[in-house]
Structures are given as structure tokens and as C-alpha cells.
Amino acid sequence: MTLFEVRDVLKASGPATAAAIALRGKITLVEAEILLEHWVRRGKAAEVDGGCHTGGLCKTCGGCSSSKLRWFQWTAAEEPVSV
């Protein structure tokens, strides 16, 4: 998986964990964390709270293992294409 594939996954699917990226890209967890941290350092992605798959509907924020994971989200705005 490349940096740009990680970018595309985050843009398309929203918040994701390093483990989810690793599984999707068939890479190790450490490799996924390195790729995600690159985008965070560049200011294009950010670590976000929670990432609960229920959207907060269960009302037990912090009560499940998903809330303890590091979630990453693409935050950079689309750059205009000049012609």
C-alpha cells in the first residue's frame, strides 16, 4: 500500500484505524502507522476521537474497545485544479 492509497482510503471511507488500513492494504500494523503518521505530520490527516461505528447512537462513549483505538481522518481540503 502506498501513501496515496492510504489517502484515498481515508478520503473515501472516513475515519479509520491503523489496523483497518493494514488489513485493507495487506501490510503490517507498523507499516500502516508509519504511512498514517506521514500524513499527520504533513497536516493532511489528523488523529480524531472515537470513531465509533454507531455514530454515538449507543450512548456509551468510551465503553467499548473501539473508543480506545487511534482513529485517523483525512482533513485536507481538495486543491483546485488549474487549467
What number is the average pLDDT over the span 69-82? 77
Pairwise CA distance, residues 57 & 36, whole Å:
27
Pairwise CA distance, residues 3 & 78, whole Å:
16
| 35 grid coordinates | 504511512
Share of the chain above pLDDT 90, in %: 52
Q: What is the pLDDT of residue 13?
A: 87
What number is the average pLDDT over the span 12-33? 92
What number is the average pLDDT over the span 12-37? 93
Amino acid identity, residue 25? G
CATH code given to domain 3-74? 1.10.10
H/E stretch holding 17 reads strand 16-17
Amino acid identity, residue 64? C
What number is the average pLDDT over the span 16-43? 94
Q: What predicted TM-score, i.e. pTM, was given to this entire model?
A: 0.74
Pairwise CA distance, residues 22 & 20, whole Å:
5
Q: What is the pLDDT of residue 44?
A: 96
